[in-house]
Amino acid sequence: MSYLAKNYNRKKISFKKGKGSYLYSANGKRYLDFVQGIAVNSLGHAFPKLVKVINKQSKKLWHVSNAFIIPEGEMLAKKLVKKTFAQRVIFQNSGAEATEAAIKVARRYFYSIGKPKKNRILCIKNSFHGRTLAAIYASGSKKMTEGFGPKIPGFDHIEFKNVKPRFPNIRNKIKNNTAAIMVETILGEGGIKPIPEKCLQYLRKICNEKKILLILDEVQCGIGRSGDFFAFEKSKVKPDIVPIAKGIGGGFPIGAVLMTKKVANGMTPGSHGSTFGGNPLAMAVGCTVMDVISNKSFLKNVKKNSQYFHKKLNILKSKYPKIIKEVRGRGYLIGLKLHVKQTLFIKKLIENKLLTIRAAENTVRILPPLNVKKSELDEALEIIDKVCVKYKL
Ligand SMILES: Cc1ncc(COP(=O)(O)O)c(C=O)c1O
């Protein structure tokens, strides 16, 4: 008997401990964990530096109100600013809070320059920005909004197509009251679909022309997961606002919205806040994650090893063309789009001790920790091969 509400369809496994890329189940089995809390444990389970910092900070100070200066938060904000396009940061606790804060920052900016009616946000239909009321209506997915009306106004939608033109009719969708375009740089839940560099550049160009803001949601694809610190870096595009979460806490809940100084001007005292956001414990952990991931050789390694993994996955695709349709994604945000049923494939991988998770479009999401060993990638490849061989087509 579980006293939890049934809003999840949970797999019948629970874990008692984790170490690096592995999880150990309550009944003593070892699993290669390529879910990692859905791209959250960027450095794997129980990463020694994170264990150390959380122990040390827990003995000093856990929580103080944002009514006071929090040096650990000042430090993490500085690290984020030094590393990225951002000039200002607001801390939150989750991805949805970060995307909501991003929307608030955009609206408040136009309010602060005397254009309060410029408040609509243009998003991709069936994208994913979280589960709060505003975020589900931003995502524009029927499944997520069903039963949660009345509709939260203020969001318009464009299609993101797999073929050109990727954003049909986008110019006509931007009205005088549009404040911003908000997209995931790589659509995660939507099936691991990167927005091509040219399209990101095109979005920036339109935003400049129409004098509106570009929000790139890097909650899932940011903090090194794509092989670059931010997935948009390759395109050389500079966004105005970027919500982050997941990987920055390495397993500890942290969300943040990064922004330019120009848009941050609207966020005057009292305009936004969070009781827990930016607490010393979370910030100390975030600083350590940043120190590890920001290291040039760390990201170089992510790129090199993930390219090897993609290459090998593509070889499996050629070997099993009736099972694997496409290898999608970048870095360690990987999707295997299948011909066969995704749920059954995931079940077979679990039976062989490899954990993965679903995404839309019949895609299996593979999310190793960023510091995964090459031998562990090989182990996963062997399991996928083994599952494919046994497939009865
Ligand atoms: C791109 C994106 N934005 C926002 C969110 C919401 O994050 P959270 O579940 O922490 O609220 C997610 C979560 O998967 C995400 O992938």
Residue 375 sits in a domain whose CATH number is: 3.90.1150.10
Confirm whether pTM is higher than 0.85.
yes
Which of 274, 294, 314 is the last residue in one of the domains? Answer: 294
Map residue 203 onto helix, strand or coil. helix
Ligand 1 mutation target, pool 99, 232, 367, most atoms within 8 A of CB: 99
Q: What is the average pLDDT across 79-102? A: 98
282 sits in the region (left: phi over 0; alpha: psi -120 to 50; else beta) called alpha
Does the beta carbon of 249 sit less than 6 angstroms from any atom of ligand 1?
no
Which of 269, 294, 319 is the last residue in one of the domains? Answer: 294
Say whether both 78 and 28 belong to one domain.
Answer: no
Domain span at residue 101?
48-294
What is the whole-number distance in angstroms between the Cα of residue 28 and the centre of ligand 1?
A: 31
**Cα gap 288→48, rounded to integer Å:** 11
Percent of the chain with pLDDT over 90: 98
- pLDDT tens-digit profile of 364-376? 999 999 999 999 9
pLDDT at 312 > cutoff 80 = yes
Q: What is the pLDDT of residue 392?
A: 73
What is the whole-number distance in angstroms between the Cα of residue 255 and the centre of ligand 1?
A: 10
The count of structural domains within the chain is 2
Q: What is the pLDDT of residue 359?
A: 97
Which of 248, 278, 294 is the last residue in one of the domains? Answer: 294
What is the whole-number distance in angstroms between the Cα of residue 137 and the centre of ligand 1?
A: 14
Q: What is the average pLDDT across 283-300? A: 97
Say whether both 303 and 276 belong to one domain.
Answer: no
Does the beta carbon of 127 sit less than 6 angstroms from any atom of ligand 1?
no
Say whether both 40 and 76 belong to one domain.
Answer: no
Say whether both 33 and 107 belong to one domain.
Answer: no
**Cα gap 213→181, rounded to integer Å:** 6
- pLDDT tens-digit profile of 222-234? 999 999 999 999 9
Q: What is the average pLDDT across 130-143? A: 97
- pLDDT tens-digit profile of 233-252? 999 999 999 999 999 999 99
Q: What is the pLDDT of residue 296?
A: 86
Does the beta carbon of 188 sit less than 6 angstroms from any atom of ligand 1?
yes
What is the whole-number distance in angstroms between the Cα of residue 254 and the centre of ligand 1?
A: 12
Q: Which atom of ligand 1 is nearest to the CA of 97?
A: 11
Does the beta carbon of 194 sit less than 6 angstroms from any atom of ligand 1?
no
Say whether both 183 and 307 belong to one domain.
Answer: no
Q: What is the average pLDDT across 285-298? A: 96
pLDDT at 393 > cutoff 80 = no
- pLDDT tens-digit profile of 174-231? 999 999 999 999 999 999 999 999 999 999 999 999 999 999 999 999 999 999 999 9
Does the beta carbon of 99 sit less than 6 angstroms from any atom of ligand 1?
yes
Q: At 134, is the pLDDT very low, low, confident or very high (cuts 50, 70, 90)?
A: very high
Say whether both 255 and 370 belong to one domain.
Answer: no
